[in-house]
Amino acid sequence: MADERTPRPKISVGEKDEECRDDAAQERPADDGRYTVADAVRDGAGRLSAWVSRTFPGHERAFWGAVVGFVAAIAFLVVGPWPLVVIAVFVLAGVAVGQALDGDPRIVNTLRRLFTRGNQ
């Protein structure tokens, strides 16, 4: 009888069960000691930013530009040139629409200046 040797989990029904439900229904306090995914991302981003600042002092933006260029190169190789151009056009159009809705249509104004006849 191997089953008798293994402990079975105890299941209680009654007052304790209702207390557990009441505790779960209450809101958690702001600092309950749990480490969430958002906390981990925030900590990781802070550590990465600190490392970049220590490793490349005064050239942090150049480093991030290189990272963006590397990601763009990988996307170019994986996706291909024409789909990447289509994605870039849609992203640019989205930014232009967002700027227009914000009341500062810089991309639209730049395109108007480039394509007007009195440009010469």
* Cα separation values, 30 from 25, 33, 45, 49, 50, Å: 15, 9, 22, 26, 27
Q: Which amino acid is at 3?
A: D
pLDDT at 2: 52
Please name the amino acid found at residue 100: A
91 closest CA partner among 72, 78, 104: 72
The string of pLDDT tens digits covering residues 36-93 is: 888 899 999 999 999 988 988 888 888 888 898 899 889 889 988 888 889 889 998 9
